Chains A and B, each alone.
Chain A
């Protein structure tokens, strides 16, 4: 099993450009999440999904959109990138109960110039 994979691993954008980050999991997990990690701030939840076709906002959703058309995929979109969105982005997935750990992807390092 590949677990949770993320594409791409690195990306540099100019302000105003758009892009989509792809997350895929092969563990048949119901829940999926997008986090951003910034120095000294831990991980902050951007959006999450509790199942195919559903999405919801997390703590820091502004400037991002998501879609989950298939259970195994969770896409994070930036429509008009800003320098404040320079960060490392992590996707995670889990079973649908709170005692289960979240499984994380390797991360995507995004720089917005």
Chain B
């Protein structure tokens, strides 16, 4: 069975602090894909990153970085020097091929509050 767990329901930080959002996934498949989405207060879901199971290289994009560790089945997301605009709900998702459609398994989301 596939599952994504985001144990942190809500996190509050002060602007300029670094913050890490945790994502733990479960799957028995060797080929899979992991995603992060951002849902700002306006409501739409914005795609941030995709990672495949064969690429464990960490990725950095500006203030955002992602740490993928197969050994711990984790795909954590770090925001460096957080800003108020980072306040949003962040979702981690897992996709596994072999189905007849592109099924996503979403975590329950982590709400990030960045205070000025």
Q: Which residues of A contact B (CB under 8 A)?
A: 31, 40-43, 45, 48, 50, 56, 88, 90, 92, 94-107
CB-defined contacts of B98 to chain A, threshold 8 Å: 98
Q: How far is the CA of A103 from the CA of B95 in the complex (A)?
A: 14
A94 in complex: contacting residue of B37, B102, B109, CB < 8 Å: B102
Q: How far is the CA of A50 from the CA of B103 in the complex (A)?
A: 11
Task: State how many residues of chain B have any CB contact under 8 Å with chain A.
Answer: 26
A102 in complex: contacting residue of B97, B99, B102, CB < 8 Å: B102
B43 within 8 A of A: yes
Q: Which residues of B contact A (CB under 8 A)?
A: 9, 33, 35, 37, 42-45, 47, 50, 52, 91, 95-104, 106-109
Q: Which chain A residue lies CB-closest to B99? A: A98
With both chains docked as a complex, state the minimum distance between the C-beta of B10 and any C-beta of chain A, in angstroms: 10
B50 and A99 within 8 A (CB)? yes
B9 and A90 within 8 A (CB)? no
B102 and A31 within 8 A (CB)? yes
Q: Which chain B residue lies CB-closest to A51? A: B101
Question: Can you report 5 residue pairs joining A to B where beta carbons are below 8 Å apart?
Answer: A31-B101, A42-B91, A56-B101, A102-B102, A105-B44
